[in-house]
Structures are given as C-alpha cells and as structure tokens.
Amino acid sequence: MKNILVITASIFGQDGQSSQLVKHTLDQLRETHGEIRTTYRDLAAEPVPHLDASRFGAFITGADDRDGHQQQVVDYSDSLIQEIKDADAIVMGVPMYNFGIPSGLKAYFDHIARSGVTFRYTENGPVGLLEDRPVYVLAARGGIYAGTPNDSQTPYIRSFLGFLGLTDLHFVYAEGLNMGDEKKESALQEAGRTIETLTA
C-alpha cells in the first residue's frame, strides 16, 4: 500500500472530527505499511462545482465534438478519476450534515460517475469499471444512526461506490459527538480503536 487518496469534506477543515479520524487512519497506515504517499482532495477547501446540464453535456459529448469548455470539464473529471485509479487505497472523511453526506462530496461523486469511464450498462445490468481497492470511510456524526434506517450515508455510499466497482469498503463510525463530552470522548476512542484494528 503506497499511494493513498485522502478525501475530506468537513466544513471545519482539518479540525473536523472526520478529518481527525482520517489523520489517525493515515498515521496507522504509516505505522503498518511504512512510507505512504498521499494525495489530498479537500472538498470543502476546493469545492468541486455542482453538476449542471452544461457539465453533464460535456460528459456525454464525444471527444471529437467537444468545444474548449467541454474539454476542460472532461479533463477535470478525468483528473479526479485518475486520482482514484492511481490510489492503492482511499481514505475518506464523511461528516453527517443535515441527515446526509456533505454537498461537496455529492458534487465530487457527480463528477466521478461517468458512463463508459467508471461504469457501463450491459444486458445484465450496470458494471463498475474501477478496479477494486480498499476504501476506509470515517464517518463523524452528532447523533447515533449506524445500523438504523436513519443512516442515509452508509447504504448510499455502498451503492454509489459499488456501482463504480469499489466494494472493499470499511466503515468506521464516531457517533453521538453532540451528545455530551463523555459520549463524545468514548465515541472517538472507540473509533480510534476500530481504525487501529482495521489497519493492523
């Protein structure tokens, strides 16, 4: 494990709890695997634009027919996808905001879902075109949702990344972070231990 793509989305930047869990995961991976190379994709600091008809239009326009702007949009999306292809593993911080994933992460997902590039449809249904690799998902939440129908994130991320071919997912939850200091402290410690076990 050498190249790690690090995706963060906390509006609090590196102070965010999900970003802190990402940091702990990277520290543990270093301890286990030695030197690692990291590529950072901070979706809060450098937001991916929202998908609109013009950008989607660029995705579905053939290479020979694209104008300059469309080519730029495709090049940008291609570069995001290339970061994934270059990664031996992905470490992703996922805060819960208003019962969902951060909008910045959704915009990123909208730019890596490309027909014929990261997925294709066949007679037997969709096929993901990304080679599988471990994805560590560090989820930080004010309340408690894991394993309940209110956990909108886990099934969604599983479905979405699975659609692209990424199925080796490892979820770590730090929950109840807004439920008092004691609960917060124990949740962070437990998440830390889970990370240590997962990366050992």
Ligand X SMILES: Cc1cc2nc3c(=O)[nH]c(=O)nc-3n(C[C@H](O)[C@H](O)[C@H](O)COP(=O)(O)O)c2cc1C
Q: Which residues contact ligand X by CB under 6 A?
A: 10-12, 16-19, 95-99, 140-143, 177-178
Residues 6+ apart with CB under 8 A from 186: none
Using an 8 Å Cβ cutoff, are 44 and 76 in contact?
no
Beta pairing partners, 111 = none
Q: Which CB atom, from 17 or from 154, has the smaller least distance to ligand X?
A: 17
Which tokens hold the place of 14? Answer: 């590196």
Nearer to ligand X, 80 or 96 (CB): 96
Q: How far is the CB of 47 from ligand X (least distance, A)?
A: 15
Entry field: residues in the chain: 200
Q: How far is the CB of 20 from ligand X (least distance, A)?
A: 7
Helix (H) or strand (E) holding 140: strand 135-140
Q: List C-alpha distances in Å: 183 to 21, 106, 136, 151, 190.
A: 16, 29, 23, 19, 10
Minimal distance, residue 145 CB to ligand X, in Å: 6
Question: In whole angstroms, how close is the CB of 104 to ligand X at the nearest point?
Answer: 11
Contact 142, 96 (CB under 8 A): yes
Nearer to ligand X, 77 or 175 (CB): 175
52 versus 181: smaller Cβ distance to ligand X: 181
Residue 117, helix vs strand vs coil: coil
Question: Residue 13 CB, nearest distance to ligand X (Å)?
Answer: 9
Could you give the CA distance from residue 46 to residue 124 in angstroms, rounded to a whole number?
A: 38
- Nearest distance in Å: CB 136, ligand X: 15
Query: Which residues make beta-bridge pairs with 39?
Result: 5
Q: Which is nearer to ligand X, 100 or 116 (CB)?
A: 100
Q: Among residues 77 and 151, whose Cβ is nearest to ligand X?
A: 151
